[in-house]
Amino acid sequence: MLEDAILEKEKRPDTKPVNELTDGFHLLIDAFKANGLNTIYGVPGIPVTDFGRLAQASGMRVFSFRHEQHAGNAAAIAGYLTKKPGLCLTVSAPGFLNGLTALANATTNCFPMILISGSSEREIVDLQQGDYEEMDQLAIAKPLCKAAFRILRAEDIGIGVARAIRAAVSGRPGGVYLDLPANLFGQVIDAQEGARSIVTIVDPAPAQLPAPHSVKRAIDLLKSAKRPLIILGKGASYVQADELIRSFVEKSGIPYLPMSMAKGLLPDDHPQSAGAARSLVLKESDVVIMVGARLNWLLSHGKGKSWGAPGSKRFIQIDIEPREMDSNVEIAAPLVGDIASCISALLEAMGGNWQPPSSDWIQAIAQKRETNLARMATKLQSNVVEPMDFHTALGVLKKIMKEQPETMLINEGANTLDFARSIIDIYKPRKRLDVGTWGIMGIGMGAAVAAAVETGNRVLAVEGDSAFGFSGMEVETICRYNLPVCIVVFNNNGIYRGTDVNPTGGPEVAPTVFVKDARYDIMMQAFGGIGVLAHTRDDLSKAVNEALESGKPTLINAVIDENAGTESGRIGNLNPQSIVTKT
């Protein structure tokens, strides 16, 4: 009987077709693509090498870097520019740790990104048996980012990626860690089941409307102001509600101060800009409305000398994160919601006959601004020919940015940062990318790559020579992908200045100085890019114009007087110094 049954079964044709299969590699790619994430910045290696290859084969753009930190910074900037999480791909343990700095920095700056990292086998890692690149990456990432997830089963990839994307972009954006153990990639499941497991996210960053009574409270306070001020932060730039914000500023008639990455949200030469009268407006204003800006160290925590007499200020704050309110000082009118919804609500509540601030206030600011701008203009026209100082060189770049306002400006350094921020005007939203909330060095080349890739525009990276060094090897990446990036290294032979000496007279040079007259321009030539040594204003102007015209990867080594800078640029007050003299 049994034999009959077997024979019978063998005779019956198998009606069920062999099912197609998919695996972790392909499901990850499908999950990202289903949500419009088509670009990866990373460094290949075990266990993600094939993932990068397959992603490229599927039509995704895969940019390979020389170090994960810069891939991570590129992903973060991609997130800032597109409002979709930038993807950074790293290998286990050391690669992951290299990417983690960028993830933490993205979270601090509220840039949405996802660090996707391969990791070693759970069974071995958890018993600490010494696997290849063993590390409990999820545990390490968790306190440094907004959310951290691990996917163990191929069928969970769709939902895992969805959770990561939503966590990165909803509410206050930030960095998300996604841990992918090596054996996830090769796990095979039925292709149809796989397709069903992919989640296409509906409304990843839902609008969050402010409560009507909080809008009324804010408007009442604004109406009572004699000397109101608007402060625009990079949160306001991020939201891409440029027209709404401009209408609010212009309808209100209130002077505004842009934080560094909010420069250009309204053009820096806008008549209501108080950028050139910063100390006056911080001190004298009575009601301050913060739009996507935080009262952190960059604004002296909203108190102290720069903010005038104690108790002289009342704050309205627009932020999507309720816990931001009262973080440093009392917020009289918190407005919790997404910036576009809050600004729309304010505009509506302002009605048809809004009274602009008194002309006394406007004129006091205008006067201060004119005086400061005239003083700066004199410095910019100085006849210092060679070596250039910061003003001479930045005067050239200021003119070029005015003529070519679509150019993406990247900026890091100390003096190079502080002078460039105040000298170079920005005319369009999201054109200036810099060291952000932490004042971190090393964002330069990662940001330059992402700016070029995500916008297609020309990129001008204005870099202190120390700042450049943190990501300098990525010039090879820029040359390899032939990106339209022009790097200007402000070469003053060191950190702040090139003049420090070792007080002992010993053979090691002082800790803040570098090789004298280093030829960064030749570095660029090594990879087929254009390298130019610029001693004068004319050299610099010619080289930058040519680079922006041709779009060829270019590095201009701008020789700056090594005496010209000051210690710590403009934040020397934060630098502890010893007053004890030892004999």
Residue 415 is a binding residue for ligand TPP (CB under 6 A): yes
Residue 210 is a binding residue for Mg ion (CB under 5 A): no
What one-letter code names the amino acid at 195?
A: A
DSSP H or E segment with residue 71: helix 68-82
Kindly identify the residues of this chain, within the stretch 215-244, that bind Mg ion according to CB under 5 A.
none
Phi and psi (nearest 5°) for 150? -125, 135
- Choice between 164 and 560, CB closer to ligand TPP: 560
* x-marked contacts with Mg ion along 480-519 as a string, rule CB under 5 A: ------------x---------------------------
Residue 416 is a binding residue for ligand TPP (CB under 6 A): yes
Residue 440 is a binding residue for ligand TPP (CB under 6 A): yes
- Per DSSP, the three-state class of 534 is strand
Sign of CA dihedral 285, 287, 291, 295: positive
What one-letter code names the amino acid at 503?
A: P
Residue 495 is a binding residue for ligand TPP (CB under 6 A): yes
Q: Which stretch binds ligand TPP (CB under 6 A): 117-125, 253-261, 314-322, 434-442?
A: 434-442
Decide if 533 contacts 358 (C-beta within 8 A).
no
One-letter-per-residue 3-state SS of 261-305: HHCCCCCCCCCCECHHHHHHHHHHCCEEEEECCCCCHHHHHHCCH
Sign of CA dihedral 74, 79, 81, 84: positive
Q: Which DSSP symbol is given to 495?
A: S
Q: How far is the CB of 497 from ligand TPP (least distance, A)?
A: 7
Q: Describe the crossing of helices 49-57 and 24-34 by its angle, rounded to 10 degrees.
A: 50
Residue 423 is a binding residue for ligand TPP (CB under 6 A): no
How far apart CA 423 and CA 462 sit, in angstroms, is 12
Output the CA angle 104-108-111, nearest 5 degrees: 90
Q: Which stretch binds ligand TPP (CB under 6 A): 129-137, 437-445, 473-481, 502-510?
A: 437-445
Q: Which stretch binds ligand TPP (CB under 6 A): 107-115, 258-266, 329-337, 459-467?
A: 459-467
DSSP H or E segment with residue 248: helix 242-252
Q: Residue 467 binds what, of ligand TPP, Mg ion, none (CB under 5 to 8 Å, by partner type)?
A: ligand TPP
Q: Describe the crossing of helices 68-82 and 94-109 by its angle, rounded to 10 degrees.
A: 30
| Number of residues binding to Mg ion, judged by CB under 5 A | 3
Residue 557 is a binding residue for ligand TPP (CB under 6 A): no
Closest CA to 331 of 310, 317, 346, 312: 317
Pairing of the two strands 333-336 and 459-464: unpaired
Alpha-carbon radius of gyration of the chain: 27
Q: Residue 414 binds what, of Mg ion, ligand TPP, none (CB under 5 to 8 Å, by partner type)?
A: ligand TPP
- Choice between 134 and 465, CB closer to Mg ion: 465
How far apart CA 430 and CA 237 sit, in angstroms, is 6
* x-marked contacts with ligand TPP along 375-414 as a string, rule CB under 6 A: --------------------------------------xx
- Choice between 414 and 530, CB closer to ligand TPP: 414
- Choice between 77 and 164, CB closer to ligand TPP: 77
Residue 466 is a binding residue for ligand TPP (CB under 6 A): yes
Residue 439 is a binding residue for ligand TPP (CB under 6 A): yes
| Number of residues binding to ligand TPP, judged by CB under 6 A | 18
Residue 467 is a binding residue for ligand TPP (CB under 6 A): yes
- Choice between 149 and 496, CB closer to ligand TPP: 496
- Choice between 179 and 465, CB closer to Mg ion: 465
Decide if 395 contacts 380 (C-beta within 8 A).
yes
Q: How far is the CB of 74 from Mg ion (least distance, A)?
A: 24
Residue 442 is a binding residue for ligand TPP (CB under 6 A): yes
Q: Which of 125, 262, 441, 448 binds ligand TPP (CB under 6 A)?
A: 441
Decide if 520 contacts 557 (C-beta within 8 A).
yes
Q: How far is the CB of 157 from ligand TPP (least distance, A)?
A: 34
In DSSP terms, 39 is beta-bridged to: 61
How far apart CA 436 and CA 70 sit, in angstroms, is 15
- Choice between 2 and 574, CB closer to ligand TPP: 574
Task: Output the six-digit token pair for 429.
Answer: 């939203």
CA 361 to chain centre: 34
- Choice between 81 and 467, CB closer to ligand TPP: 467
What one-letter code names the amino acid at 225?
A: A
Q: How far is the CB of 440 from ligand TPP (least distance, A)?
A: 5
Residue with tokens 């290949």: 44
Kindly identify the residues of this chain, within the stretch 437-466, that bind Mg ion according to CB under 5 A.
464-465
Residue 496 is a binding residue for ligand TPP (CB under 6 A): yes
Q: Which of 47, 464, 484, 531 binds ligand TPP (CB under 6 A)?
A: 464
Residue 465 is a binding residue for ligand TPP (CB under 6 A): yes
Cβ within 8 Å of residue 554, ≥6 positions away: 485, 486, 487, 524, 529, 530, 531, 532, 543, 546, 547
Q: How far is the CB of 464 from ligand TPP (least distance, A)?
A: 2
Binding site for Mg ion (CB under 5 A): 464-465, 492
User: Which residues would be at the binding site for ligand TPP (CB under 6 A)?
Assistant: 413-416, 439-442, 464-467, 490, 492, 495-496, 565, 569
